[in-house]
């Protein structure tokens, strides 16, 4: 039995295969998770990725993984019936010059957890040049009931705000703001999983 294969940085040129807008390649997946059969509230998630000096990271890749509006995952380990079967719950995008990224998706439902339910959340993985392994974080929603979430409870109180996306209304479309600070004063909480 041998050990696992080490992680290496995604490097500066992943876009040609993984986020290939503008290149001669069909994307595996993009930043719009919404399917015609997806139930629940349509939302946008947007934010910027910033480095330890507060400068925009214009070559990061963000991946998100989430449950549907009923809190179900499109995965064999979640064996509950899935009425919106086309909804996969996975998205991938690259950051722009300004460090900005966005996803169109639906708001996930509460997910079962180790001790009762987890508050609605999205798993976020960050990859970039200069990152030798991906960082995992979680996005929670400012208008959800987050008290009692078993994972948030593990985060020091003063750092929890980095995980809560703030809701605003953009001409009737709900938008959640989630900036990712890789390092520094208000560094985003990353998890050891």
Partner 1 sequence: MTFVFPRESLSAFPPSLHPDYKSTVKRSPRRPLVPMPHTLSELTGPVYGHDAIRPGDEDLTKQHAGEPLGERIVVHGRVLDEEGRGVPNTLVEIWQANACGRYIHKRDQHPAPLDPNFTGAGRTATDAEGRYRFVTVKPGAYPWGNHPNAWRPAHIHFSLFGPSFLSRLVTQMYFPGDPLMAYDPIFNSVPDEKARARMISRFDLAATVPDWALAYEFDIVLRGRNQTPHQP
Rounded to a whole number of angstroms, the minimum distance from the CB of residue 172 to partner 1 is 29
Instruction: CB nearer to partner 1: give 156 or 172.
Output: 156
Half-sphere exposure (CA, 13 Å, Cβ side) for 85? 4
Rounded to a whole number of angstroms, the minimum distance from the CB of residue 147 to partner 1 is 17
Rounded to a whole number of angstroms, the minimum distance from the CB of residue 46 to partner 1 is 21
What is d(CA 48, CA 95) in angstroms, rounded to the nearest whole number? 8
Within a 10 A sphere around the Cβ of 2, how many other Cβ atoms?
Answer: 4
Instruction: CB nearer to partner 1: give 179 or 187.
Output: 187
Instruction: CB nearer to partner 1: give 169 or 192.
Output: 192
DSSP class per residue in 50-97 = E-TTS-B-TTEEEEEEE--TTS--SSTT--S--SSTT---EEEEE--T
What is d(CA 179, CA 48) in angstroms, rounded to the nearest whole number? 5
Rounded to a whole number of angstroms, the minimum distance from the CB of residue 163 to partner 1 is 10
Instruction: CB nearer to partner 1: give 32 or 173.
Output: 32
What is d(CA 86, CA 99) in angstroms, rounded to the nearest whole number? 30
What is d(CA 160, CA 96) in angstroms, rounded to the nearest whole number? 26
Task: Answer yes or no: are the C-beta atoms of 164 and 189 closer than 8 Å.
Answer: no
User: What's the token pair of residue 90?
Assistant: 């996975």
Instruction: CB nearer to partner 1: give 13 or 148.
Output: 13
Rounded to a whole number of angstroms, the minimum distance from the CB of residue 153 to partner 1 is 10
Task: Answer yes or no: are the C-beta atoms of 142 and 176 closer than 8 Å.
Answer: yes
Rounded to a whole number of angstroms, the minimum distance from the CB of residue 174 to partner 1 is 22
Instruction: CB nearer to partner 1: give 8 or 171.
Output: 8
């Amino acid at each position: 039995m041998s050990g696992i294969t080490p992680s290496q940085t995604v490097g500066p040129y992943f876009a040609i295969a993984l986020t290939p807008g503008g290149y001669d390649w069909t994307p595996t997946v993009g930043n719009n998770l919404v399917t015609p059969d997806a139930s629940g509230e349509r939302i946008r998630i947007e934010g910027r990725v910033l480095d330890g000096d507060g400068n925009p990271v214009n070559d990061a890749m963000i991946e998100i993984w989430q449950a549907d509006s009923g809190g179900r995952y499109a995965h064999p380990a979640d064996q509950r019936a899935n009425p919106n079967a086309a909804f996969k719950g996975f998205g991938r995008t690259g950051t722009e010059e300004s460090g900005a990224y966005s996803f169109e998706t639906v708001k996930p439902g509460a997910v079962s957890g180790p001790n009762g339910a987890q508050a609605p959340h999205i798993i976020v993985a960050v990859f970039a040049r200069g990152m030798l392994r991906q960082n995992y974080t979680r996005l929670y929603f400012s208008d959800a009931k987050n008290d009692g979430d078993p994972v948030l409870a593990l985060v020091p109180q003063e750092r929890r705000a980095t995980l809560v996306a703030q809701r605003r209304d953009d001409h009737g479309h709900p938008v959640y703001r989630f900036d990712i600070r890789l390092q520094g004063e208000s560094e985003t909480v990353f998890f050891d999983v």
